[in-house]
Structure 1
């Protein structure tokens, strides 16, 4: 048997390839939209990808399953559980099989048994793998998707918070408890191959180790320590962070079918042409470092640096009805485009070479201030307002007295909470999110914004925060 895991560090997403070396057939589980890692691996190892399976309709990344089925003639294996509201809507164009609890399918001589494991979502299924071709009669491992992670379990509140499905948090938590009772019955030796690692918003305390075993999780995973349903449900639902705004769109696109068109022409702009894109139909996305952006940027640009957090904050900040104009070194455009496509932001229409911006003289800037400067010069001054863009859990653990909390991902639609005559002093935990926030505030008319260097972490080292 061949086994390989793939980790997308931008979205903390795990996918897998399993191959039967006797028959040359291979299966991809929970494929990401960028298919190149699977196709390259299959070619290198001499496999033909014949099947792709999904554990559920994903809310945090755009699936590559539809493209595999349409462009690679792969059979899709997807959940037939959960009812019509939780079923894929593009399957009529594909060769597919709907999987139910206790179903079995094969990839060559590798057997996979289907377990319906609702909780994170109603349609969630897991795959128990037995290497019959290698002579085994007992399962080796289980692909759990967003059901069981290392050290955590999938959150059941996303459908309600992100997709507006009222009442599903409680019902999902109840289903999760029931699914975990089934998981506990599996043998200790069975390996656990989850759909996400640390950094994913699909749980609240995911471990950084990529895999585990049922026995280890039974001992160490907090969710498996509960024998009483109501107390488990309370703990599971308590303290879940705000889900990224784009999760609702991911659920919709993965259900209806992601676009099969990604290779769109991108126009290279001159500096004079940027004014043609200054409307609500476009967003000017400057992907340079926060330091470079601070020193000089075009008015109206939003700054999200090109690093592993780009997809997350782009999903929070950019509307799916907007076209994107990039400001970036030309060498980075392909990588940026791939990251944006991973969450369905496909409409990149133009790029302005970052060098053309840096050579301009009439640019906007903003200032950084230290915690000591905040206390000495701005505290108590009615001309300023402190804006905390962290999440609720961070705020509850401690915040600056007198600050107003507006979550970064919701800042644009809540700009009116900041008095128009005041200068915002923006901060997050360390300074990364507040740099994005500073660009959003400037793009929305607050030209004299100040950014707290080092964020709340730096402030709390010198001054006493409050927790009420």
Structure 2
């Protein structure tokens, strides 16, 4: 049996390729939309991808299930649990709709769907049995159900998808799924989750790639509540202290249910000259993306540029500052090479940003502006209408600048009604070190706000003042 974990550090998301080497067939679980990693792995192992599935309707990235099926002819398998509100649309043409206990056979391998609601009502986990070795399952792909050291949060439907108080029913479902599905398995079953440390789909995800049923049974934070049959204690602790849900999650949830657009072969990126880019910026027909670190951006950037610092977190930060549902103008990236620009495009399409038109390798010849900064020692005397903390609410609660309001960077663009009017005066923004602040500030400037970034952000202010931070 082949079982490969494909991990995206940007979104802290894992997909899996499971293959029967005897028959040369493979299934992909929870794929992203840029497919080369799966196609290359299958080719390397002499396998054909014949099936593709996903654990649930995802909120943090745009699923590649339809994309992979279109590229390979693989059969799609999707959940048919959770009721009519959680049914995949008719765009999943030919998809097999699975109930609890449905089995997918690949030669000696069996992949069995297990309904594990809680994170979402339709959520499935997959028990994997290598029939060449055993008649019993040895692996469970748990999606957003059980993570290493944590559980999938049940409040995302409230936080990101517009539902009201579904978190309580979700938490109860999660308790039951653990009791009736997960803890009935043998201790040796290996647990392979869909996310790792850094994901907003839980509050304390471990950085280790996998765990076992036995380890979680004995050492997880939630195990004592199950042992004592303390459902209310479990619910209270589960829901307490969850991080902010990024606003783009609502778009992902809707598009993944309806069916993400199939991209197919992507057009070649245009390599821009400074003259062409300058002309298109002048008539406001494109948006420029400055991909440098905020320290370089602060020395001068293109007016109206979005700051998405580098390839490695392009999907995460790109979804903070560009909403493809409201923005029609394509993107031109600053990139060292065509290859780097294509890598960044791959990251952006993982969150449904399909509008990258081209790239430019230098700022030479372009008109630049210097973003407004305020030094920590000058903040008290600096005139502003709002001091805005763009970190997560959990960071804010642990300590913040006196008088600051909190609105996380992943939600700013969708909650402008919580800010003063754009012409009301200067807003001073900060995060922990300055990276997230520069991203959020660039989006607000494009919306017409007068933004001054606190240079060095929270860390610099604490170092300068020597004062204890204000706790919420």
Aligned pair 1:438/2:438, yes or no? Answer: no
Tell me the equivalent position of 2:355.
Answer: 347
Note the alpha carbon deviations across 1:396-436, whole angstroms, 9 max, x for none.
11111122323223334427427746443321012111122
Distance 1:424 1:92, change over 3 A: closer
Inter-partner Cα distance in structure 1 for 2:343 and 2:117: 35
Tell me the equivalent position of 1:131.
Answer: 130
Tell me the equivalent position of 2:409.
Answer: 408
Distance 1:129 1:327, change over 3 A: closer
Aligned pair 1:310/2:314, yes or no? Answer: yes
Aligned pair 1:426/2:458, yes or no? Answer: no
The offset of 1:463, in angstroms, is 1.8
Inter-partner Cα distance in structure 2 for 1:422 and 1:98: 54
The alignment partner of 2:136 has SS state of coil
Tell me the equivalent position of 1:286.
Answer: 290
Inter-partner Cα distance in structure 2 for 1:402 and 1:120: 35
Aligned pair 1:9/2:9, yes or no? Answer: yes
The offset of 1:165, in angstroms, is 2.1
Kept in 2, the 8 Å contact 1:378–1:384? The answer is no
Within-5 A mapping of 1:2-401:
2-90=2-90, 93-94=93-94, 96-134=95-133, 136-182=134-180, 183-226=182-225, 227-261=229-263, 263-264=266-267, 266-273=269-276, 274=278, 276-277=280-281, 283-321=287-325, 322=327, 323-329=329-335, 330-331=337-338, 332-351=340-359, 353-355=360-362, 357-360=363-366, 362-366=367-371, 368=373, 373-375=375-377, 377-383=378-384, 385-401=386-402
Inter-partner Cα distance in structure 2 for 1:301 and 1:200: 27
Tell me the equivalent position of 2:454.
Answer: 451
Kept in 2, the 8 Å contact 1:18–1:28? The answer is yes
Inter-partner Cα distance in structure 2 for 1:36 and 1:169: 37
The offset of 1:387, in angstroms, is 2.3
The offset of 1:379, in angstroms, is 1.2
Distance 1:204 1:279, change over 3 A: farther
Inter-partner Cα distance in structure 2 for 1:436 and 1:443: 11
The offset of 1:442, in angstroms, is 3.5
The offset of 1:354, in angstroms, is 4.2
Query: Which 4+ runs in 1 deviate beyond 6 A?
Result: 278-281
Kept in 2, the 8 Å contact 1:187–1:214? The answer is yes
Note the alpha carbon deviations across 1:145-200, whole angstroms, 9 max, x for none.
11000000101111121111223211111111110102112111110000111111
Kept in 2, the 8 Å contact 1:426–1:452? The answer is no
TM-score by length of 2: 0.90
Inter-partner Cα distance in structure 2 for 1:299 and 1:230: 52
Kept in 1, the 8 Å contact 2:248–2:319? The answer is yes
Distance 1:282 1:245, change over 3 A: farther
Kept in 2, the 8 Å contact 1:423–1:450? The answer is no
Kept in 1, the 8 Å contact 2:425–2:450? The answer is no
Distance 1:10 1:393, change over 3 A: same
Inter-partner Cα distance in structure 2 for 1:447 and 1:97: 52
Inter-partner Cα distance in structure 2 for 1:298 and 1:347: 19
Kept in 1, the 8 Å contact 2:333–2:341? The answer is no
Q: How many residues of Structure 1 are paired with residues of Structure 2 in the alignment?
A: 458
The offset of 1:268, in angstroms, is 4.1
Note the alpha carbon deviations across 1:354-374, whole angstroms, 9 max, x for none.
41x2444x42113555xxx52
Inter-partner Cα distance in structure 1 for 2:254 and 2:422: 36
The alignment partner of 2:164 has SS state of coil
Distance 1:447 1:278, change over 3 A: farther
The offset of 1:233, in angstroms, is 1.2
Inter-partner Cα distance in structure 2 for 1:383 and 1:8: 40
TM-score by length of 1: 0.91
The alignment partner of 1:339 has SS state of helix
The offset of 1:285, in angstroms, is 2.2
Inter-partner Cα distance in structure 1 for 2:230 and 2:188: 25
The alignment partner of 2:471 has SS state of coil
The alignment partner of 1:436 has SS state of helix
The alignment partner of 2:309 has SS state of coil
Kept in 2, the 8 Å contact 1:19–1:27? The answer is yes
Kept in 1, the 8 Å contact 2:5–2:16? The answer is yes
